[in-house]
Amino acid sequence: MSYDGPSSGAPQGTPPPQPEYPQSPPGGWQTPVSGGTGYIPQAAEPPPASGNRFKDLWLHPAIVTGVLGTLVILIVAVTVLAVRSFQAPATVADTGDDTTTESTQEGDDTTGETEDSDATGSGNGSSESPADDAPAQEDPVFISGVLEGYPDSAFDFDGGDDYISYDDDEQTFDALLTTDGLEGMNQVQFGEWVEPSAPTTVSQCEGVSTTSGTVHLSRLEQYRIFCFTTAEGRTGYFSVDTVELEDNGTLNDLAVSYTVWKGDDDL
């Protein structure tokens, strides 16, 4: 077979086509070496270090502010404790000095009072106690006790008698019990004592206005006290002990504690 020469479809003198490569190699690839047929893969570079994570947290504004605040609180607390620890011994020392001084002064005053008392005793032969230390005066008692009665019976405070019949003309009585309360007889009148403790003297009860001849049932409550002057002219008082009522609310029984002081004719 004879060679007819190059094909008529291809121009003479034109080199064969070469494979085309991208203008820039893809990431991780190297430029092909001379005479090669492609890119050579290249090891990927490690990502840049992101830094210390804990260091980033410590530099956060909120963390920094919290740490600084805690340090300030600790400093203030330590300072206060230090100041108190320095002041406490001084306070104790001052208190001791004051106590010693006061004790010395009290000792001097006591000594002076003792000397004055000795001097008074030597001069008068007796010592007098202050009037404030004296017990409260009590007038001599003529009679005292408990009286009890029911409606239409009477009390005799001078004689200490109770359950006296209203029809007894031979008995002098001071108060008559009724269904509505206590009624004074023989010009006996009553006045309520409003102090917390019972009277102890005639003058105390005489200071109470005894202008009512009747003590109504509504006022006859337990522990209430009423002053009076008896039919024989003595001053006294009674205190309500118990009050028993009927179903209809009227008086059923009355018990009182009483005291009568001696009059001028009894002394």
b/e for 179-214, b at 16 or more Cβ within 10 A?
eebbbbbeebbbbebeeeeebeebebbeebebeeeb
Q: Is the pLDDT of residue 97 over 90?
A: no
Residue 172 has which token pair?
A: 């002098």
Is pLDDT at 260 greater than 60 in this prediction? yes
Boundaries of every domain in the chain = 53-101, 141-266
Average pLDDT on 10-22 reads: 58
The confidence band for 126, taking pLDDT boundaries of 50, 70 and 90, is very low
Higher pLDDT: 166 or 99? It is: 166
Residue 234 near residue 170 (C-beta atoms within 8 A) = no
Q: What is the pTM of this model?
A: 0.51
Q: What is the pLDDT of residues 176-232, one digit of tens each?
A: 999 999 999 999 999 999 999 999 999 999 999 888 899 999 999 999 999 999 999
Report pLDDT for 103.
46
Of residues 47 and 213, the one with the higher pLDDT is 213
Residue with tokens 């208190």: 95
On the question of pLDDT at 117 being above 70, the answer is: no
